[in-house]
A and B are shown apart, each in its own frame.
Chain A
Amino acid sequence: MRIPLRYTLRNLWTRKLTTVLTAGGMALVVFVFAAVQMLDTGLRQTLVATGQPDNILVTRRSANAEISSSVDRSQASILEAQPEVAIGGQGERLVSKEVVILITLPKRETGQATNVTTRGIGASGFALRPQVHIIEGRAFRAGSSEVVVGTGLATRFDGASVGNVLRFGGREWRVVGVFDSGGAAFDSEVWGDADQLMQAFRRSAYSSVVARLVEASAHETLKVRLDGDPRLTLDIKPERVFYEEQSQALSKFISYLGLTLSIIFSIGAMIGAMITMYAAVANRVGEIGTLRALGFRRSAVLGAFLFESVLLGAIGGVVGIALASVMQLVQISTLNWQSFAELAFTFTLTARIAIVSLGFAIVMGIVGGFLPAVRAARLSIIDALRAA
């Protein structure tokens, strides 16, 4: 026979302060555990949203970021002429030969000079990224010193709003529009005309080439053929893969650090649960004896105490996840080591994170409550009744 749930609930209720403190400690651990995973998920989502499934991104071989890459004009033309490259509505090839330069802009709140990716795009640049929409002003005119800025940039940086002028590369660039890319990394970028930017920075080569393929699976055949072409020393990757790799270092750092901290912190919280449960057992020796005398089995006593501890963990878990969900309002912007540029992303709560975090909390409860529950179950009826 099982000991009624009400017994456990009332025990927790009687020792309110202890319950709150124990569950509170666990809630903080769950908060850290969930927040770190939310950050990692947010980062991945940002970068995955940046790549289109049927786009490829071409950089110089062994350059692991666009800024350290260069693709000269003849190589770019060879790429453009490949049969796998899709053709747009006006019969143009869907290829954007791009130049990527980092500029420094001061952040609005702190005045901190920050690296910002400035991307010169070709005529098909917008067509290749259907997720990008102009939300204010208009697109820049080809062949002019005009730029558009990502919405993340417009809110975080001084001088990056419509009508303002950015000064770099010995020229003045008028901001004529703001674009939104639906949470992609482009939101932290400045876009202008590739040829104009190349002139301003006296570049003779592009940084990268983005192309739409007829179909995503054409990537393999294209890669095999181009890798064998001695004129090209290029690395051809699906855009998604490229951007995923861009976030690898940061993502690894966040998840390793987060996991290590969660484990260490959970030791503290489990000790808290253990102290609470040992005290609960010690205070209720008489009660346990009575329960046993009434005919409840050892396993029932074990179950009741374990359940009490699991319940503590579950309360902590729910509170922790609730706290973490508030973090969704916070946006983090930091330097991405691989692209060496500013990247903004948010905490993203998914159902998976919520479930895993709750599971983590319950495991903390089980681990913390197991030994005390065993002690309760092992008490002999006579000793227990005598102690009361």
Chain B
Amino acid sequence: MYFLKLILRNALRHKLRTGLTVLGLVVAFLSFGLLQTVVDAWYHGAEAAAPNRLITRNAVSLTVPLPFHYRERVRAVEGVKSVAAANWFAGIYQDPKNFFPQFAVEPKPYFAMYPEYRIPEPEFEAFLRDRKGAIVGRKLADNFGFKVGDTVPIKGTIFPGNWEFNVRAIYDGAEPKTDTSLFFFHWDYLNETLRQRTPQRANQVGIFLVEVADIDRAAEVSEAIDKQFKNSIAETLTETEQAFQIGFVKQTEAIVIAIRIVSFVVIFIILAVMANTMAMTARERLSEYATLKALGFGPAFVASLIFGESLAIAGVGCTIGIALTFPVGSWFAGQMGTLFPVFEVSDETVLLQIVCALGVGTIAAVLPAQRAARIRIVQGLRAIG
């Protein structure tokens, strides 16, 4: 007990220094936690993917469409439960800054495949009845103040012209990780309009979402689909929703890696600060350590005093940092709007923060502890700060 008391007293001897060190630790662990969460947010699409959903796209690349009539041939493949056409719309709402994803989908099969989007039944019915209807996610609706009944004008980039949609339903996520920043409207509305404006671009589909009856046969089914269209005008590539999403993330991997590296740089910065604090503390107290030794305490005791103090300071800083990660994280997510559809501090992040704190606390104490443990009594008593 007296050992802990001694550590605590030691830590509080230089209140300003300890206070500053703790402040530095808090800033470092907070930013580390946020950066890790940003990286997690990058992968949210892959995390939220369901194993029974496949995505069929043109083998050339995502930007080359597939003919609409492929839908029936995909549906006919054995093991396929349902198929929904979807197009990435990439429209601009008022200003390019206000980015949110918009998809033209075939609503009935699409939303049947995504039970995690919870839509009130009457609202969904109203959406089905309105050709220009749209379903928006809760987060998106909150962000831009969309209410049921609102008209949302969107300027097309891939599909030129001004488009108007009526918000008919707002969906909630079944889980916190469900993306509720999406905007859906009728694929038929897109297609009919294209047929009038630019007939050569009608009846083209960006991707087909495919639901398989049996998860274990997903690989087999995707091969069967691609085989259907081998050597045709538009060859297809079918992969699981997760592989499709990871493919996206991988293309921006360099940025993710950079953020990861940088998040560890901040740990090294704070390690330097912490090690400095401990080095100065130990140097100032060399004569005390020598006194302790003269009283009969061994080098291990002296070293453990320093380790204890270092770990205690790191522990306090880290605890406050972790505690702040949650409120600051949700504030940050609010500021970012729909840029990060899902921004949740994960358990792994907290665990990583704790491990890093232990590491910083231990490594910072190594050199000073070694020095204090080794110092000869006479030398130590003579030492001045």
Query: Taking CB as reference atom, which chain B residue is nearest A260?
Result: B31
Q: How far is the CA of A19 from the CA of B59 in the complex (A)?
A: 58
Query: Taking CB as reference atom, which chain B residue is nearest A104?
Result: B61
List residues of chain B with CB within 8 A of the CB of A265: 31, 265-266, 269
Within 8 A of A (CB), among B275-309: 275-277, 279-280, 283-284
**B27 at interface (Cβ–Cβ under 8 A)?**
yes
Contact yes or no, A18 B284, CB < 8 A: no
Task: Name 21 A/B residue pairs within 8 A (Cβ), A-sorted.
Answer: A17-B276, A28-B268, A28-B269, A28-B272, A32-B262, A62-B155, A63-B158, A68-B90, A102-B64, A110-B250, A110-B253, A112-B253, A264-B266, A268-B266, A269-B269, A272-B273, A275-B276, A278-B20, A334-B253, A340-B62, A342-B251
Q: How far is the CA of A110 from the CA of B96 in the complex (A)?
A: 33
User: Chain A: interface residue count, which band?
Assistant: 35 or more
Contact flag A62-B160 (CB < 8 Å), given A68-B90, A272-B272: yes
Q: How far is the CA of A283 from the CA of B235 in the complex (A)?
A: 76
Within 8 A of B (CB), among A20-38: 21-22, 24-25, 28-29, 31-32
List residues of chain A with CB within 8 A of the CB of B61: 101-104, 115
**B16 at interface (Cβ–Cβ under 8 A)?**
yes
Query: Taking CB as reference atom, which chain A residue is nearest B155?
Result: A62
Contact yes or no, A279 B17, CB < 8 A: yes
Contact yes or no, A101 B60, CB < 8 A: yes
List residues of chain A with CB within 8 A of the CB of B64: 101-102, 201
User: How many whole Å from A243's CB to the nearest CB in chain B?
Assistant: 17
**B357 at interface (Cβ–Cβ under 8 A)?**
no
List residues of chain A with CB within 8 A of the CB of B196: none
From B17, B160, B250, B259, A63 is in contact (CB under 8 Å) with B160
Within 8 A of B (CB), among A284-311: none
Q: How far is the CA of A323 from the CA of B256 in the complex (A)?
A: 21
Q: How far is the CA of A30 from the CA of B21 in the complex (A)?
A: 20
Instruction: Known pairs A68-B90, A104-B60, A275-B21; list 9 more (Cβ under 8 Å).
Output: A18-B280, A32-B265, A101-B60, A102-B60, A102-B61, A102-B63, A115-B61, A257-B259, A278-B17
**B225 at interface (Cβ–Cβ under 8 A)?**
no
- Total CB contacts across the A-B interface at under 8 A: 150
As a 0/1 sequence over residues 169 to 201 of chain B, the CB contacts with chain A under 8 angstroms (1 = contact) are 000000000000000000000000000000010
Contact yes or no, A31 B265, CB < 8 A: yes
Q: How far is the CA of A265 from the CA of B385 in the complex (A)?
A: 29
**A164 at interface (Cβ–Cβ under 8 A)?**
no
Contact yes or no, A202 B17, CB < 8 A: no
List residues of chain A with CB within 8 A of the CB of B253: 110, 112, 334
Within 8 A of B (CB), among A239-268: 253, 257, 261, 264-265, 267-268
User: How many whole Å from A376's CB to the nearest CB in chain B?
Assistant: 14
List residues of chain A with CB within 8 A of the CB of B96: 64
The 9 closest A-B pairs by CB, nearest first: A25-B272, A272-B273, A335-B251, A21-B276, A102-B61, A271-B24, A334-B254, A68-B158, A283-B385
Contact yes or no, A204 B200, CB < 8 A: yes
Query: Taking CB as reference atom, which chain A residue is nearest B235?
Result: A170
Contact yes or no, B60 A169, CB < 8 A: yes
User: How many whole Å from B93's CB to the nearest CB in chain A?
Assistant: 14
Contact flag A272-B24 (CB < 8 Å), given A22-B272, A114-B251, A279-B17: yes
**A332 at interface (Cβ–Cβ under 8 A)?**
yes
From A28, A67, A279, A334, B265 is in contact (CB under 8 Å) with A28
Contact yes or no, A18 B262, CB < 8 A: no
Contact yes or no, B31 A264, CB < 8 A: yes
List residues of chain A with CB within 8 A of the CB of B35: 261
Within 8 A of B (CB), among A161-217: 168-170, 201-202, 204
List residues of chain A with CB within 8 A of the CB of B265: 28, 31-32, 265
Contact yes or no, A283 B284, CB < 8 A: yes
List residues of chain A with CB within 8 A of the CB of B160: 60-63, 233
**A333 at interface (Cβ–Cβ under 8 A)?**
yes
**A276 at interface (Cβ–Cβ under 8 A)?**
yes
Contact yes or no, A334 B251, CB < 8 A: yes
